[in-house]
A and B are shown apart, each in its own frame.
Chain A
Amino acid sequence: MKKTKILKKIEPVFHQVFNNKKLKINYKSSPSTIKQWDSLATINLFIGIEKLLKIKFNVSELAAPKNVGEMIDIIIAKKN
C-alpha cells in the first residue's frame, strides 16, 4: 500500500481522537505540531489504527514513531 493512501485512510482516526474533523495531517505531524497530542492521544491513535487496519503493534513498533510519517512506515512494513 502506498504511503499517501495510508495517510488518507488513517486521517479519520486523528479526527476522532482529537475531536476535530477539519484537522489536516501530513507526514511531519507530531506531538510538537498538534497541540492536544499527549501520551493518552498517542495510545488512542494506536488503538484506533490497530482496529481500523486490523493489525497489532508490537512493543518496539509502538515505541518507535516520532511523527505520522514514521507511523506509516511501520504500518507499511507490517502490511508487507
Chain B
Amino acid sequence: MDQFIEEKYQLRDSKINLKKKKSHAKSKIKIAILGGSTTDLIKNSLNEYLAMNNIEGIFFQSEYNQFYFESINPSRKLKTFKPQIIYIHSTTANIEEFPKIGSNPKQVGKLINKTFSKYKSIWSTLTKKFNCTIIQNNFEYVPFSSLGNLESTKVYGKINFLTKLNLKFFEQSDKIKNLIINDINLLSAKVGIDKWYNDSFYFNYKYTLSHEAIPTLSHNILKIIMSIIGKSKKCLVVDFDNTIWGGVVGEVGSDNIEIGNDTPRGEVFLRFQKYIHDLTLKGVILAGCTKNDYKNAISGLRNKSNFLQENDFSVIKANWKNKVENISSISKQLNIGLDSIVFIDDSNFERELVRSQLPAVEVPNIGEEPEKYIFHLDRAKYFENISLSKEDFTRSSYYKTNAKRESEKVKFKNYNNYLESLKMKTDLKKFEKKDINRITQLVNKTNQFNLTVKRLNLKEITSISKSSDFLTVAGNLKDKFGDNGLVTVVIGKIKKQTMDITVWLMSCRVFNRNLEFALFDCLINLCKSKGISTIYGNYIKSEKNMIVKDFYKTLGFKKIKGKKGLDKWEFEITKKYIKKNKIIKINNV
C-alpha cells in the first residue's frame, strides 16, 4: 500500500477512507506544521499517506505564515500539543530580500547570513523547547529569471543566492542531528518548476506549490517520517532472469544473457545493477530469489559483464519452489520481518502471488520495460535514510558472515558447542559519545528483541548518558567470523536501592548467542557496585516483540504485575547469584 501513485491526491473519498483506516491504525504521531504559506492541503495529503501506512497523524498547524513567530515564541497551543515532529514548510516565497542586481559579494554575503541566521534561530529554539525532530524545506528555484543564465553565475543572481543558502542548510543538517532537510529543490525539479508553481493557487490562496505537486511533497515527507520512526525497508529481494539481466539464463546460457555495454538492453540492466549496488553500499540487504537451477543462476551471476557480484547478495534462493516460500525463508534466515522486504520481479504472476500470500512484503509494480524498473523502485523511496552510520556501510557484511555462521552450525551436534566454537567476545560499556548515533538508531529501529519498544531521540539519549540517575550499557559482539558492531542497549533508571529497566533491546543479528545473559551478568555487577538490590523489568507488548514476552522469566525474575499489555517483573540480587553466561568473553566491564 506504499506505492507512490501518480495523482494520488484523492480528496474525493479521503474522509471515508480515513474513517475506515482509523479503526486499525497502529501507531500515532504528532506533527506540527509551521507554514510560511497555506498548508491545509499538504496536511490532508500527508495524513492520507500516513493512514495508508497504518499511522494516525495528529496535526497542529500554525496560523498562516507564522512559522517564524511560532518557532521563536511558541504559542501555548503548540506547547500543550507537544509535537514529536515539526515540519517547517517555508519556501522561496518566504525569502524576504534577494540581493539587489549589481550588489558586491560582501553585501550578498551579509544578506545570506541574515537570512540563514533567521532559520538557525528557528532550529535552535525549537530544539531547546521541544526536543524533537525538525523537518525543514530547503529552497526551490525561482520560476522566472530576469538575469537569464547569470541568475546562477553572478553572486547577486537569485539562483546563486538560493544555492548558497541550500548548501548552508545541508551543512547545518549534518551538524544538528535532529534537523532533516526536505529537499524541495529536487522535488520541484522532478515535477518541473513550471508545473510546481500555480499562479491561481498562489495569488488566491497562498499555496507556494500547485495541487498537482502536493502529493510529491507529502510523499517525500512521509518517507522521512517513516525513516524517523524506523519503518524504512531493509531488504531488497530481486528476481534474476529479465529483472537484473535480460533473457533466461537456463535457456540461453550464461554467456548470452543481456548485460553490459554491448547492447542497449544490456546497458539498461547494467544501470539497474549499479543502482542496486549503491543501495547495498548504504546498508540495504540484497537477496536473490529466482526460479532456476542453482548452478544456472550462479553461472549467470558469474558472467563478467555483471556489475552485481555473487558476494553482494546476503542470500540467494535459486530453486523451483514458489517464491512465497522462498521469501518467507529469506525473512527467517536473515531474521528480518516480512514488512522490511521489497520484492521486485518482472513477472506479474510472481508479483501477484507474493502480494496476495505475503501482504506485508512490498511488491512494486515495476512494469514490463526494464528501463523503467529503476524509476519505479527509486520513486517509491523505500529505503530512505535520515542518516547513515558506520554500521550501515558495513551492514551487508554482517549478514553475509551470518550466512557463514549458519553453514558452520550444521557441523555441530550441540548448539552450545557451536557457540563455543565461535569464540565470541563482547565489550560492555556505558554509553559513550561516539556511539550515541548508533544507539539512537538501534533504539528507534529495533522491533523484535525490544522489551518496551520505547523510542527515544538523540537528545534524550545524550542527556540520559550524562545523567547519574541512569545506568546505561551498550555492547558489541565479535566472533571468529567478524565484528557485528554495536548490537545491544540497556537503560535503567536508578531510584535509591532499585533499578527500573526502561530499555532493553538487542539487534536481531545476534539472537540466540547468549549475549543477553552476558549483559545481565554485567548488569548485576554494576548494580552491586552501586548498592542496588532490586531490579525491575518491564515488558510492554507490541506488534512484534512476542519473542521476549517471557524473557525476564528466563532470567529468574518474578512477575509482580501484569495488565493491559504491561508486565512488571522483579529480581532480588543476592550473594548467591550464579553467572548465566559461560560462553562469551567479556571485556572492559
Contacts and interface: CB of A to CB of B under 8 A. Distances in A.
B550 interface: no
B200 A47 contact: no
Contacts, number: 37
Interface string A43-76: 1100110000000111101110000000000000
B198 to A, nearest CB: 9
B61 to A, nearest CB: 11
B41 A43 contact: yes
A71 B372 CA distance: 42
Contacts of A48: 11-12
Interface residues of A, number: 16
Contact of B199 (A16, A19, A40, A59): A59
Q: Choose among B16, B41, B203, B204 the residue with the greatest number of A CB atoms under 10 Å from its CB.
A: B204
Q: Which applies to chain B's interface (DSSP): helix, strand, loop or mixed?
A: helix
Nearest to B11: A44
B200 A59 contact: yes
B41 A56 contact: no
Contacts of A39: 205
Interface in B191-241: 199-201, 203-205, 207, 211
Given A39-B205, A43-B41, A16 B13 contact: yes
B40 interface: yes
Given A58-B199, A59-B203, A19 B11 contact: no
Interface in B9-29: 9, 11-13, 15-16
Contacts of A47: 9, 11, 211
Nearest to B40: A40
Most A CB within 10 A of own CB, among B11, B16, B205, B211: B11
**Interface SS, A side:** helix
B202 to A, nearest CB: 8
A67 to B, nearest CB: 17
A17 interface: yes
Nearest to A50: B211
Given A17-B11, A43-B207, A59-B204, 17 more contacts: A16-B12, A19-B15, A19-B16, A39-B205, A43-B40, A44-B41, A47-B9, A47-B11, A48-B11, A57-B200, A58-B200, A59-B200, A62-B201, A62-B204, A62-B205, A63-B203, A63-B204
26 contacts: A16-B11, A16-B12, A17-B11, A19-B15, A39-B205, A40-B40, A40-B41, A43-B40, A43-B41, A43-B201, A43-B205, A43-B207, A44-B41, A47-B9, A47-B11, A57-B200, A58-B199, A58-B200, A59-B199, A59-B200, A59-B203, A59-B204, A62-B204, A62-B205, A63-B203, A63-B204
